[in-house]
Structure 1
Amino acid sequence: MNRLDEQCIVVTGGASGIGEATARAIIKEGGKVLIADLQEQEGQALAEELGANAVFQQTDVTSEEAIITALERANTELGPLTGVVNNAGIVGAVGSIAETSVEAFDRTMSILARAVFLGVKHATRIMKPHGKGSIVSLASTAGIVGGLGPHTYTMAKHGVVGLTKSAASELSSYGLRINAVAPGGTVTPLTAALAGNDTGIITQAIADTSPLGFACMPEDIADSIIFLLSDEARYITGQTLAIDAGITTSGLHTTFHNDDAEVILHANQRAKE
């Protein structure tokens, strides 16, 4: 048996990066997936590639109505809904705390924190009557310690960790499990953009700062998400799993200076030499 046989899962930000890897893994493990993303062309193409058990729903995660539509469509068309992966994200506001605009702060929080709240809220409403379900939200190593992300990003990701604990404490008696994963530096389109969309540079930069000596790929994060969605994790709730080669436990190997990671700047400089 596959680990996700007959499960129906919504993945926000599912058209690329960690979300795409997760959507692919869900299908591989026998599940059904609704890919919720703003990127219509990429999301539709991925759903068509994955086959009959995958659908795409264009979704703006800052809109409560859009999240409701995606979750309810999955529940009706592919369901019953058994899982949600709150993955959609951006880097968001960067720069000194004294120079961060309220507008940039609000936009960042709406995608990284408010959207997770909405995903948990409405997934709970739909899955609670079923008496079983699993929600996995994307936190970050920046949600565990300071100095690994821009200020607003760090604040939002700490909020994801907090909501995971709080919601789990309420919902466990209804058979719902709420967990989070906290990736360290991972090779995705989002991080590659920090290096001028040069995947080679970002891959080497992440590998250079990894205690394990190699770069984390989206599939590495997806594997942990699949575990938390599956019955293999049936006794796990309220937890945040750091997937960071031990950076948050063995000491910080780099510092994020709210514009670009120091290591990426160094990698860019090496590339020019």
Structure 2
Amino acid sequence: MSRLKDKHAIITGGAQGQGAAIARAFVAEGARVVIADVADDAGSALADELGDVASFSHHDVSDPASWDRLVTEAEERLGAPVNVLVNNAGVLRFGEVDTMPLDDFDLLINVNLRGCFLGMRAVAPSMKQNRQGSIINCSSVEGLAGMASLTAYTGTKFAIRGMSKAAAVELGAHGVRVNSVHPGMIDTPMTQAHGGDAAMQWGATRVPLERVGTPEDIAPLYVYLAGDESGYTTGSEFVVDGGVTATHAFYPGNSGRGAAR
């Protein structure tokens, strides 16, 4: 397959979960990738699995100097300018607005929001110079609506949605596209850390398709947005959520089937 032939991508948070599935899908479609993450062992193992078209770089998305090093290293390893950036790295913390520790709030801001902004800033000059590029920012369904105990997380994901639109307007004249992806509940190590399989089973009862998503459900959308097929698409939101945002708070889940209407 060659939908991503001549695409040279950085994928943050690429060592596991959604990032790893995106990396595998990109390579399967002909891209060369740099997997960027703080999880050294998992990232190195994935790069080894994918072969010569992939490499791993230790990377802290909240650190501007780390971004400078990453882009320089990526272009050396790829042998070409980076023309796809997947800002996938993120963290999840629950906490109510009046009790959440400020340290948790700052972590969410630094990784989810600052990391996304720094990534766009790091690749934009080269993409503008070469008049091509696709930046794909991972938001969430919490970037479209709020959820209790996720005020801070929701704030970062709404901000990513807005930054993506503004950056799309700034960069469009230079041939650079920016879009946001809004996954629903996806079974990944990050979400498993907050409730495990029991949380996944509960989540499935709240989804019209009656299951939580997998990283492999998400990856094909990133392939589309990274490639030339989406060449007239920028500043847009793409939702992959099993139908969650198609309904509203009155949706009863499986427990309400057969209720009076």
* TM-score normalised by the chain length of structure 2: 0.92
Segments of structure 2 that go 5 or more residues without pairing to the other structure are 254-261
Q: Which residue of 2 aligns with 1:34?
A: 34
Matches of 2:250 and 2:69, distance apart in 1:
42
How far is 1:135 from its partner? 0.4
Q: What is the CA distance between 1:222 and its match in structure 2?
A: 1.1
**Larger mean Cα displacement after TM superposition, 140-149 or 19-28:** 140-149
2:81 equivalent to 1:80? yes
CA contact 1:141–1:148 (8 Å) conserved in 2: no
- Paired with 1:219 and 1:126, the residues of 2 have a C-alpha distance of 30
- Quote the offset at 1:246 in angstroms: 2.2
Deviation at residue 189 of structure 1 after TM alignment: 0.4
User: CA separation in 1, counterparts of 2:209 and 2:138?
Assistant: 22
In structure 2, do the counterparts of structure 1 residues 149 and 187 end up closer, same or farther at CA, with 3 Å as the change threshold?
farther
User: What residue number does 2:190 align with?
Assistant: 190
Residues 16-35 of structure 1 aligned to structure 2 (within 5 Å): 16-35=16-35
8 Å CA contact 1:187, 1:202 repeated in 2:
no
* CA distance in structure 2 between the partners assigned to 1:230 and 1:202 by the alignment: 34
Cα 1:141–1:89 change in 2 (3 A) is: same
Check 1:69–1:149 CA distance in 2 against 1; reply closer, same or farther (3 A cut).
Answer: farther
Q: Does 1:119 align with 2:116?
A: no
Alignment of 1:123-162 (within 5 A): 123-147=123-147, 150-162=150-162
In the alignment, the residues of structure 2 paired with residue 182 and residue 169 of structure 1 have an alpha-carbon distance, to the nearest angstrom, of 20
SS in 1 for 2:34: strand
Specify the alignment match of 2:4 in structure 1: 4
Pick from 228, 245, 250: which aligns with 2:247? 250
* In the alignment, structure 1 residue 171 sits paired with structure 2 residue 171: yes
Quote how far apart the aligned CAs of 1:253 are.
7.0
* Structure 1 position 148, deviation (Å): 6.2
TM-score, normalised to structure 1's length? 0.88
CA distance in 1, matches of 2:108, 2:135: 22
- Asked if 1:234 is matched to 2:231, the reply is yes
Partner of 1:214: 211
Structure 2 residue matching 1:194: 3-state secondary structure: coil
2:101 alignment counterpart = 101
2:202 is aligned, of 200, 205, 209, to: 205
| Corresponding residue for residue 267 of structure 1 | none
* 1:215 CA drift (Å): 2.2
User: Cα RMSD over matched residues?
Assistant: 1.9
**Which residue matches 1:181?**
181
> In the TM superposition, what is the alpha-carbon distance from 1:75 to its structure 2 partner?
1.8
Quote the Cα distance in structure 2 between the aligned partners of 1:222 and 1:248: 19
Distance 1:174 1:147, change over 3 A: same
Residue 171 of structure 2 aligns to a residue whose secondary structure is helix
Query: 1:62, CA displacement in angstroms?
Result: 1.1
- Tell me how far apart the structure 2 counterparts of residues 149 and 182 of structure 1 sit (CA, whole Å): 19
> What whole-Å deviation, never above 9, does each CA across 1:46-72 have from its counterpart, x for those lacking one?
001100000000011111111221122
Alpha-carbon contact 1:206-1:216 (below 8 Å) kept:
no
* 2:160 partner amino acid: V
Gaps of 5+ in 1: 256-262, 264-273
Change beyond 3 A, Cα 1:239–1:75 = same
Q: Which amino acid aligns with 1:166?
A: A
Instruction: Classify 1:103/1:203 alpha carbon distance in 2 versus 1 (closer, same or farther; 3 Å).
Output: closer
For 2:171, the aligned partner's letter is L
Amino acid across the alignment from 1:91:
L
The verdict on how the C-alpha distance between 1:234 and 1:49 changes in structure 2, with shifts beyond 3 A counting, is same
1:158-179 deviations in Å (ceiling 9; x for gaps):
0000000000001000000000
Structure 1 residue 183 displacement after superposition: 0.4
Measure, in 2, the Cα distance between the counterparts of 1:253 and 1:16.
34
Alignment coverage as a number of residue pairs = 253
Q: How far apart, in 1, do the equivalents of 2:214 and 2:151 lie?
A: 24
Name the CA distance, whole Å, in 1 between partners of 2:148 and 2:220: 23
Partner of 2:259: none
SS where residue 241 of structure 1 aligns?
strand
Paired letter, 1:82: N
